[in-house]
Structure 1
């Protein structure tokens, strides 16, 4: 069975973007060789990349024409992608499928693969997948910056959601990678 891993970067005060959508300047504080190597690792092992619609649109606008990271662009454009959307019907980025039922679709896909499935960004989608019990691991890159405001990575919960610490690693920028297994509530 495939493992569903939610990957995102946040500031040390918990924001994954600034006050405006796609204000991802916090990435500048964590991105160097270690995160580049991690990104290449994702491309080697992932069987599927999953995005919410807003993240998908940003990625689809960037990667097909990116020349700054050719190895990452190559796998991002090649790998199968799934976008969760009720409004998008005709994805333009190659190897992309659309689902209006991400919970049902990802439950089926986890059963039909042994390869990891990565959800990149997409905080709203990750929240719904956490609620449905489909997220196996959270992988969070903590950028060494305090944003002060923005969009929080994790949503407020009515009940606690236990996680089990798996590992932490400092990266070359002073950021930290945190990996947790999501356990049953």
Structure 2
């Protein structure tokens, strides 16, 4: 059975929206970490907005280390109530999100990665379906924008499960839901 692993770029003040502010911190070290995460996964699970951004950017990309090929070839599952069709090796999740994602966890052996997709991550957390949060913290204060956990988010408890520091100053903080350590 696979795990749902949510990977989120965040600023110090918790902003996740339009993460162009991450660019100065992305280096070979950061890239190698991202490469390991992607190649350890069997599929992607994306919200509509993230999917629409990715499908505009990724299909035409290539690189020498195979990251783009892996991103483009792996199965993608898109949670949306407004999309009617998908492309780029993607399938719409139709019906009950919790049931469909639970079935996906049974279908795959390795991780299912969720990139960005704040509303989707919050929904999955509420259903107890996120097995690991990987918060990529960047040493920048953005000041405004959508946050992963906006005001009013229900309380949940998470246990640290790892830390990765990059020489650029960015860090990945790993958390698992309390009770799943």
Q: TM-score, normalised by structure 2?
A: 0.91
Asked if 2 retains the 8 angstrom alpha-carbon contact of 1:119 and 1:126, the reply is yes
RMSD across aligned positions (CA)? 1.9
- 122, 135, 138: which one aligns with 2:117: 122
Write the mapping of 1:150-161 to structure 2, written as runs, cut at 5 A: 150-157=145-152, 159-161=154-156
Instruction: Tell me how far 1:167 sits from its aligned partner.
Output: 1.1
Q: Please, which moves more after superposition, 100-109 or 71-80?
A: 100-109
Could you tell me which runs of 5 or more consecutive residues in structure 2 were left unpaired when the two chains were aligned: none
> In the aligned structure 1, how far is the partner of 2:52 from the partner of 2:64?
19
Hey, what's the Cα distance between the residues in 1 that align with 2:151 and 2:131?
Answer: 19
Judged with a 3 Å threshold, the aligned counterparts in structure 2 of structure 1 residues 31 and 69 are, in CA distance, closer, same or farther, namely farther
Aligned pair count?
A: 179
Contact 1:48/1:116, CA 8 A, preserved across alignment? yes
Q: Which consecutive unaligned segments of at least 5 residues does structure 1 have? A: 18-22
- Check the 8 A contact 2:62/2:69 in 1, yes or no: no
Q: CA deviation at 1:155?
A: 3.1
2:61 and 2:107 map into 1 onto residues whose CA distance is 32
1:7 equivalent in alignment to 2:1: no
